[in-house]
Structure 1
Amino acid sequence: MFSVVIPVFNHEKYLHDAVMSALQSRLVNEVLLVDDGSKDRSPEIITALAKQHPNRIRDLTPMSSGNKGAHVRLNQLCEVAKNEWIAVLNSDDVFVPGRFEVIQALGRTTKADMICGSLAIINEDGSIIGGKKGLLDPEYSHPSSIDPNMLDDPQHMLAALCNQNIIATTSNMTFRKSLFHKIGGFADLRYTHDWNFALLAALVGKVHISSSYLTKYRIHGSNTIKERSGHIDGEIRRFFYKLLADYMQIEASPLCRDGLIGNQHLAPYVTQNQIAIREMETVPFSFNWSRSKEFYRVKSRHLSKHPFAELGEHAYVLSSRDGLNFRALENSVAAIQHNGYDFVILSHALEESPVVTINSDGSFDCIFNAAAASLFLEGSAYGKKLRGRIVRNALKENWPHLTDDLSNIPAFQPASIDGPEITFGDRPHNRSAHKIVFPETSDGTGPLILVLPIFLAVGGVERNTIEVIRALRHRYRFLVITTERQLPHQGSLHYQLDELNIPTLDLAEIADRSDHVSIMHSINDAYKPDAVWICNGSPWLADNAERIRRIFSHTPIVDQQVYDTEYGWINRYNDPGIQSFDHFIAINQRIKAKFISEIRIPPHRVSLIYSAINTSKLSRPLASPDEFNNLRINLGLSADSKCFAFIGRLTSQKRPLHFLEIARASAASGHDDQFLLVGDGELGVDCDRFISDNSLSNVRRIKYYDDSWAMMNVIDGLIITSAFEGLPIVLLEALSFGRPAFSTDVGDVKIVLQEYAAGCIYDAGATTTEAWEEFLVWRGNLERYTDGARRHRVDILDRFSSRAIARQYADIFDRLIKF
């Protein structure tokens, strides 16, 4: 006997015919239905049918409510099915008369665990408009090595399913309940749970496809398969790469490899060889700080060679004035191991090669082997063939340091310096990747979260990331991996993670971009993270999304790259590689809406989380009148005038020149308002020129600040001129100090300002004159907006505190790790 399971969702027009097609066979003694939150009359139809056929139809809708998804409802129904054989029927499809009699006979003769058949394609009215006979009617051309007439052979069946979904729909599946339990049920996949289930059935059981037409598959306007979404191929990548990691015999089969290569939904199919490092001997080291083994520190440039004799030809010596942090050591050692360098020079600032930081005695912080000892101990590499690298280890912005150009130093004048690469003699570049041995991250407990920012510049995204890590570091272990080379004007927040003892690796400092995939593979092998959090996108990551998916095939990936609905990373989100990730964080409501409605990411895979602010810095009482006066004096500002600030990177996105246009108009109108331009970036020179050319004595330029309390206390309002934003942290900080804002209508700024009556917005496309006029309106209502911001200061601190925001991230991490 057979159990028929029918998950129902908004199919009132077709539901009755579907149920009747199941009841027409005497071999079906139960039909199980559950409504999945339909908005039409489907629940009432189910109730009526159950009353008409009380002995054969069971309505399970009261067990749960709301829209959970097809896979949840299928699992729910299959678990309670009484019979060993279960047939799935979608509520818009119908069974062909006599199908169960055919399946019963096939079950006895083939000993199959799952039986499928050919499909008749029908339209909304039930008229037959076509058919599909498995691989004989393929979605696209299949490899000639896969014979459609040999699908009873398990390898051909598996290879065919590796190539395309020849089953086509769950309505074409009848399987043993024991197979359902062996597979573990249907996976959380919106579009492709049928294909994933069929592949697993072919791996752990026997699948048979009959040439008989057993099901009528209906084509109509609301078919899920008609949805245009990169998430379809993204889902396919997600489950395929997990499957390939679980069942290595798939890629070991030449026939299955042909199927994978020809799978157009996987194209380009990422093979294991495209991510795996070559098996090579690891460069040995004489020191290892993480395991308490002794290492040598050179305190004098004239140290004898005695340590090298003791440690052997592969000895590496650390020469450092004050010792180095984890980041400096690990980036250096990873660079040496991966590339086989003879030495690494540590530079503690972001200046580009060949400029490096030097110690007061003219020495470098460096790591070198016996071959390079003479270069660093005697100041000569005469006759040597050496390769080395400059690894930058940026410290605090105001860290005092000396720099020099390597080409000015006699010992390095014979060298060829190409970016960070340094070569003496004709030693060839070793392009074969070595395996890197990484130390443990920390002695802490809890799941390990691998964090992937583009870099750790001085910016809102990076500050949000650090605040979340700060709030959750006792609940999880964190490892931060940056992917792009940081520019000097971007500044660095690395030191904040150093202070929190959060290990950080910078791929761009370790090796060239072409090697980053293999290094990431080594990182995964070494640490086996429980979750990956992409907290800011990068060109390398977007270009290698499929490889990232394959490397972390068993690890949930939380993606948070998009900061606008029109510009930037949003334009990469129809890429199946990116859509193969497991969960997506939208930083404002507009982005969330676009994720769901246009990009078609399933709603349960999208969360709205705003940026976090560090309340430990911001919850201090506001400055007293004396403190206010002193703060103004320290910045060279008048205590009697209003002061308005732009705070952010000086980039084309932030449009600082628009801010300066407002300051210019203010000066030309005879106002005594003062303006602070706070930040640095690629437009810094242009801003300085504008200030000089227009003689703007009402503008004070500050490149960097680290005291939010002091900065927010000196200003009377914040001005945001950005072309696009998510929800700027600097806005939340200003509001938490009771400072109102005047902003372009970007991201969720309007929503927040209106909710707290703390400012107003203007059109981002406004002309200079229009922006000035809007500013005057805001300026005229400054007292009212200031009152609104101050009345809601505590609410803002509570809502956007790092503690409150971090809890939302933790909920996502915990749910995905548990799943």
Structure 2
Amino acid sequence: MSRANASGQAMRIVLAAEPTNGGVLRHVLDLAEGLPRRGFRVLLVHSRRGVDGSFAERLERRADFGYETASVELQRAPGLHDFAATLDLRRVIRAFGGADVLHGHSSKAGALARLARWSRARRVVYTPNGWYTLNPELGPTSRGAYQLIERALATLTDRIISVSRDEADHAAAIGIGPRKLVVIENGIETWTPEHVARTRAATRARLGIAADDIVVGFLGRLAPQKAPEVAVRVFRRLLDERPATRIVLAGDGPDGPQVRALLAELGLTDRVVWLPVANGSDVIPAFDLFLMTSRYEGFPYVLLEALSAGCAIVTTRVGGVTDCVIDGVNGRVVDALDPEPIARAVLAIVSDPGLLLRMRAEARRRAALFSVDRMLDRTAELYRSLV
């Protein structure tokens, strides 16, 4: 049970988020749906812009979980419009009766939450869900400016939740004091072996993939952060060495046209099964090996889904990887964003059936460490400790 606030009512939690798709909103919706069962009154504040179908569908079920919603006008790029957005956020928090804890998610909503706290929230928590300062495409000047902003905003923050140990290490490296930091890893509802086997068979049948084929798959937004062009080049190298391997590319995004062109250029159009619209729980169980080529991450949910599906994992060294992948045990971690060493790591696993089976079994065992209930319980306890 949640501790009541000073007025004897259930603690009021306001969750603020700017993205309306992807892992950030999945995380926020897990909180919104799970916290009322732990005795909190919850308001989810989201952007009016770009609400995708899956997010809207979950919002429609809010009454089943007992949380409330509001929307404000948020834009990802910084500008004078942020002043109006901060006032709008203050307005909806006031209408909610104020917040015992105001919890901002991602850089934009996190910044506005901290600016909006005065006389509206007793405590403020921030979850970056992947520090923007990790973006390798930032130049030195821009990176330094964003680090300065994050350090300044940290002075207005009671706690900063890192969703992985890697993210916490980065926060400390950019000058955020350790007393502000707490690690609460992401979690999912672990899939049962029966669900995995049933989905694996159904998806493979739908895609024309035999039960004994070895499948290497990528699932993610086709955007610069995920480096899908690197994955495509890995596929070419893999098929050169093991032409019987089946390849699945799941996802779409702004880099979709470039990925399509690269597939054609490398002669892969008919060799790669591309699923522009795909849900991890429907697709990943069909994979034997999950490939991730991201440039930076906080703690991607697809890694948890790959563990739950019993996939060996080959990934670049980004946030969340050290929590999920023990190098050489349930996968391989590659330091360079280079198709050649990544392809060698994939080939070493899929060319050794015994190793592949052992890594897949280890993945399933590791999945048990990352449950959504554990994430919710630890977040609830943090809230209670602050008020």
Q: Same fold judged by TM-score > 0.5?
A: yes
TM-aligned CA deviation for residue 685 of structure 1: 1.7
In structure 2, the residue matched to 1:116 is none
Cα RMSD (Å) = 2.9
Matches within 5 A, 1:187-586: 446-457=10-21, 459-474=22-37, 475-483=39-47, 485-486=49-50, 492-501=54-63, 502-508=67-73, 515-527=84-96, 528-538=98-108, 542=111, 544=112, 547-550=115-118, 552=120, 554-564=121-131, 566-568=133-135, 571=147, 573-586=149-162
Structure 1 counterpart of 2:13, which letter?
I
In structure 1, the residue matched to 2:138 is none
Unaligned runs of 5+ in 1: 1-444
Count of residue correspondences: 359
CA contact (8 A) 1:721 1:764 kept: no
CA contact (8 A) 1:592 1:608 kept: yes
Say whether residues 1:613 and 2:188 are aligned partners. Answer: yes
TM-aligned CA deviation for residue 509 of structure 1: 8.0
Say whether residues 1:804 and 2:374 are aligned partners. Answer: yes
TM-aligned CA deviation for residue 574 of structure 1: 4.1
In structure 2, the residue matched to 1:357 is none
In structure 2, the residue matched to 1:701 is 274
TM-aligned CA deviation for residue 516 of structure 1: 1.7
Match of 1:635 among 203, 207, 219: 207
Structure 2 counterpart of 1:632, which letter?
R
CA contact (8 A) 2:219 2:280 kept: no
CA contact (8 A) 2:199 2:286 kept: no
User: 2-side partners of 1:653 and 1:769: how far apart?
Assistant: 19
Q: Deviations over 1:598-633 (max 9, x none)?
A: 4142x3321111111123xx1252555x86444212
In structure 2, the residue matched to 1:769 is 340
In structure 1, the residue matched to 2:311 is 739
Specify whether residues 751 and 815 from structure 1 end up closer, same or farther in structure 2 by C-alpha distance, changes over 3 A only.
closer
In structure 2, the residue matched to 1:10 is none
TM-aligned CA deviation for residue 654 of structure 1: 0.6
Specify whether residues 640 and 564 from structure 1 end up closer, same or farther in structure 2 by C-alpha distance, changes over 3 A only.
same
Structure 1 counterpart of 2:59, which letter?
L
Specify whether residues 596 and 670 from structure 1 end up closer, same or farther in structure 2 by C-alpha distance, changes over 3 A only.
closer
Structure 2 counterpart of 1:555, which letter?
R
Specify whether residues 509 and 578 from structure 1 end up closer, same or farther in structure 2 by C-alpha distance, changes over 3 A only.
closer
Match of 1:587 among 160, 163, 185: 163
Identity, % of aligned positions: 20
Structure 2 counterpart of 1:496, which letter?
R
Structure 2 counterpart of 1:504, which letter?
T
CA contact (8 A) 2:16 2:110 kept: no
Secondary structure at 2:116's aligned position in 1?
Answer: helix
TM-aligned CA deviation for residue 773 of structure 1: 2.3
User: 2-side partners of 1:793 and 1:773: how far apart?
Assistant: 24
Structure 2 counterpart of 1:460, which letter?
G
User: 2-side partners of 1:565 and 1:706: how far apart?
Assistant: 25
Match of 1:758 among 327, 330, 339: 330
Secondary structure at 2:42's aligned position in 1?
Answer: strand
Structure 1 counterpart of 2:25, which letter?
E
Q: Which has the higher contact order (CA 8 A, sep 6+)?
A: 2
TM-score by length of 1: 0.41
Structure 2 counterpart of 1:560, which letter?
T
Secondary structure at 1:493's aligned position in 2?
Answer: helix
Secondary structure at 1:764's aligned position in 2?
Answer: coil
Specify whether residues 627 and 604 from structure 1 end up closer, same or farther in structure 2 by C-alpha distance, changes over 3 A only.
closer
Say whether residues 1:814 and 2:384 are aligned partners. Answer: yes
User: 1-side partners of 2:275 and 2:340: how far apart?
Assistant: 26
User: 1-side partners of 2:115 and 2:133: how far apart?
Assistant: 26
User: 2-side partners of 1:756 and 1:814: how far apart?
Assistant: 40
Say whether residues 1:787 and 2:358 are aligned partners. Answer: yes
Specify whether residues 492 and 736 from structure 1 end up closer, same or farther in structure 2 by C-alpha distance, changes over 3 A only.
closer
User: 1-side partners of 2:239 and 2:373: how far apart?
Assistant: 42
User: 2-side partners of 1:678 and 1:721: how far apart?
Assistant: 13
Q: Deviations over 1:476-501 (max 9, x none)?
A: 122111247327xx665132132132
Between stretches 653-662 and 568-577, larger displacement belongs to 568-577
Q: Deviations over 1:367-411 (max 9, x none)?
A: xxxxxxxxxxxxxxxxxxxxxxxxxxxxxxxxxxxxxxxxxxxxx
User: 2-side partners of 1:541 and 1:610: how far apart?
Assistant: 18
Say whether residues 1:656 and 2:218 are aligned partners. Answer: no
Specify whether residues 530 and 750 from structure 1 end up closer, same or farther in structure 2 by C-alpha distance, changes over 3 A only.
closer
In structure 1, the residue matched to 2:139 is none
Secondary structure at 1:482's aligned position in 2?
Answer: strand
Q: Larger % of helix: which?
A: 2
Specify whether residues 509 and 606 from structure 1 end up closer, same or farther in structure 2 by C-alpha distance, changes over 3 A only.
closer
TM-score by length of 2: 0.82
CA contact (8 A) 2:288 2:360 kept: no
User: 1-side partners of 2:53 and 2:315: how far apart?
Assistant: 25
Structure 1 counterpart of 2:162, which letter?
A
Secondary structure at 2:273's aligned position in 1?
Answer: strand
CA contact (8 A) 2:87 2:116 kept: no
TM-aligned CA deviation for residue 472 of structure 1: 2.0
User: 1-side partners of 2:328 and 2:188: how far apart?
Assistant: 17
Structure 1 counterpart of 2:364, which letter?
R
Specify whether residues 679 and 579 from structure 1 end up closer, same or farther in structure 2 by C-alpha distance, changes over 3 A only.
farther
TM-aligned CA deviation for residue 564 of structure 1: 4.4
TM-aligned CA deviation for residue 801 of structure 1: 0.8
Secondary structure at 1:614's aligned position in 2?
Answer: coil
In structure 2, the residue matched to 1:101 is none
Unaligned runs of 5+ in 2: 1-8, 76-80, 136-142
Specify whether residues 781 and 504 from structure 1 end up closer, same or farther in structure 2 by C-alpha distance, changes over 3 A only.
farther
CA contact (8 A) 2:110 2:127 kept: no
Specify whether residues 560 and 673 from structure 1 end up closer, same or farther in structure 2 by C-alpha distance, changes over 3 A only.
same
User: 2-side partners of 1:483 and 1:565: how far apart?
Assistant: 19
Specify whether residues 627 and 503 from structure 1 end up closer, same or farther in structure 2 by C-alpha distance, changes over 3 A only.
closer
Structure 2 counterpart of 1:727, which letter?
F
TM-aligned CA deviation for residue 597 of structure 1: 5.4
